Structure formats: structure tokens, C-alpha cells
Amino acid sequence: MNSEFINENDLVFLVLDDRRKWLIKAKSGEEFHTDRGIIYFNDLIGKPYGSVIFSKPYETQGYKFCVLRPLPSDYILHMKRKTQIVYPEDAGLILIYTGISPGSKVIEAGCGSGALTCILVNYIRPDGHIYSYDISQKNIERTIKNLKKAGLQRFATVQYGDITNDNLEHNNIDSVVLDMPQPWEAIENVDHYLKLSGTIVSFSPTIEQVKKTTFSLKNHGFFDINTYELIKRKIQVKENATRPFTRMVGHTGYMTFARKIQDLQNPYREKKPFKKEYINFNGMPLRG
């Protein structure tokens, strides 16, 4: 199988070691400076992804860098950001438990730096679309910038909007993703936007948010409501010392999932008698 080659302005994942990794754009005529030498982008362009390149000047530096095609997890962990991100393990669970896939129409409320936005876009393209809203203009600008850097901007619309108060004028949406301080206040509007059997996920850092969101989902007739927390532990593998790393991210956030249904009262099992029923003990033998 032929490898795909790096073109001018492609986003590449440049890796020196476990600590030094960069998500950069290969711009013709420009260069990237590191503490281990200089990488000239003209030396990258035309090479296949998966190649290695050596930093210049060769005589004094000559360190080996791997040049990889960025994965969705690389977008999340290495893009420029100011806010807390949704980690790759959480993004994976969101995709699987919401059913977001190619062709999905998704509302995202609270785009932050656009890390999750890039992940969602990567999975709904080429026929789906992400409608991303935030009440912070800085978050909107940062998300648009990161989408453009990843070459994904045509699959997403990022704009100002408050899902708790504004009429976003959507219908028949497949999934809604909430990453906001008060998600429970958005559930009523979410109910209007989602199609039947559509899914919602709310990402929250505290359990108090989870409780309020869960009760709001129940009050609005949502079904299959579940909350999860994921903890990922990396393993260090050595010849005679294989064990978990001593440092880890102990908590990222809680994810609450639910599905929209057409909730109807059961006319059979919940039928009530039209008049009161009485039991007559007259004539029945009674024991003392």
C-alpha cells in the first residue's frame, strides 16, 4: 500500500520523545525551531507520513524526529487552548454512547477551545455538520482558528448563542453535546431540537451538576439516563519493571447520557378504576 504524502500547509504531528510533541502546519519556506535543532518544512513536504527527519545543523544537532499524521487524540492534547479540555478517553465514550457518526447533525453548546469540536467534526464528515455555540467571543475565535488549522472548518458552524435562552432554530438534530456550567437549564430547549431517539450528553466536572441535570432530564421525559466517569492509567513497560506510571489524571469529568422518547402513559397497566372498590367482610368466618 502506498503511503500518503505530506502536502504544503498540511497539519503534521512532529514527535521527538514522550515529552516533546508538536502539532504544526508544514508551510513552504518556513522553519520550526526546537531545543534539539531546526526542522525545515521544505524537508517535510513530499515525504510520506510516518517518515523520520533529522534536525539541522546535522553536525551539532541531528536529532531524529518522527513525522506522523495527526490522530483525533493529537488534536485534543496538543492544540492551543485556554480552557479545560475533554480528554481522548472521554471523547471516545461520547462518540460511542451518543452514536455520533458520519452524517450526524450535532449541536454543541460550549465549544471552549474547540478540542472536542475537532473530534466531532472528524467523525461526522463528509455529510454531517456540527453547530457549535458559545457565549464567549474568545472561545468562538479560538475554536474557529483551531478548526481552520486542522482543515475542518467547512464541516462546522461556530457562532455566538445561549442554548438556555436563545431560539437556535434547529430541529431533527441527532445529538446534543453540553459542556457548560448549568446544563440542567438547557434541557427544555434540547428536547425541542432533538429528533425522537436522539441522544444528549452533558460533560460536568462536579457531581452537583450531574444531580441537577439528571433530575431535569427525568422531568422532561428522557429515557436511559446514565452517568459515567472514566479513569485512564498508563503503563510503563521496562525489561524488569513493568508497572503503572506514578502520575495520572485522577478525574476529568462526569458524562451524563440520555435518549429522547415519545413518552406516553400506559393505558393498560396504569388504568385506574372508575369508582372506589370495597371489600365486604359480611358472612365471612373470622378467627379470634
Query: For residue 89, how many other CB atoms are within 10 A of its CB?
Result: 14
What are 82-105's pLDDT values in tens digits? 556 778 889 999 999 999 999 999
Is the pLDDT score of 288 beyond 80?
A: no
Q: Go through the domains of the chain in sequence order and give each one's CATH number.
A: 11-70 (3.10.330.20), 73-259 (3.40.50.150)
More confident: 281 or 45:
45
Which helix (DSSP H) or strand (DSSP E) does residue 32 occupy?
Answer: strand 31-34
Residues 6+ apart with CB under 8 A from 254: 203, 204, 205, 206, 207, 209, 210, 227, 228, 229
Is the pLDDT score of 287 beyond 70?
A: no
Is the pLDDT score of 268 beyond 80?
A: no
Q: Where are the beta strands (DSSP E) in 49-128?
A: 51-54, 64-68, 105-109
Residues 6+ apart with CB under 8 A from 131: 105, 106, 107, 108, 156, 157, 168, 170, 173
Q: What percent of the chain has pLDDT over 70?
A: 90
Is the pLDDT score of 59 beyond 50?
A: yes
Residue 126's pLDDT is 92
Residue 248's pLDDT is 79
Is the pLDDT score of 277 beyond 80?
A: no
